[in-house]
Amino acid sequence: MAERIEKDILILTKSAKYHKYCVAGIELSGENRFIRLVKGEEGPLSDDDLKCSEEDYIKPYDVARVALLKQANCFTQPENWTVLDGEKNKKDIES
């Protein structure tokens, strides 16, 4: 089973990319670094990847707890983190 990493992130952007989304923000726990959420090593995210509940999705200015698999292996974009498939995110987290 894959290791689960949770990070609290202030979402700053959610832009359209190939009919999906490029999402990034600031990690609130730890080093307060810029973090980009990806599917696989570099791919954009689907609506399902951004789901918090049946009708609620991560959007800019949300503080979300996101389940991650690992830091993506991308030399040119070390800020990329791979989301964990099948996990619901949580919003309105107090950090």
Q: What is the pLDDT of residue 28?
A: 92
Q: What three-state secondary structure class fits 49? A: helix
The tens place of each residue's pLDDT in the chain, 95 residues long, gives 567 889 999 999 999 988 999 999 999 977 789 999 999 867 899 999 998 887 889 999 999 999 898 888 888 888 999 998 877 888 876 65
Locate 93 and state its tokens: 């987290």
- CA 51 to the chain's CA centroid: 11
Per-residue pLDDT, 40: 81
CA–CA distance, 74 with 56 (Å, rounded to integer): 30
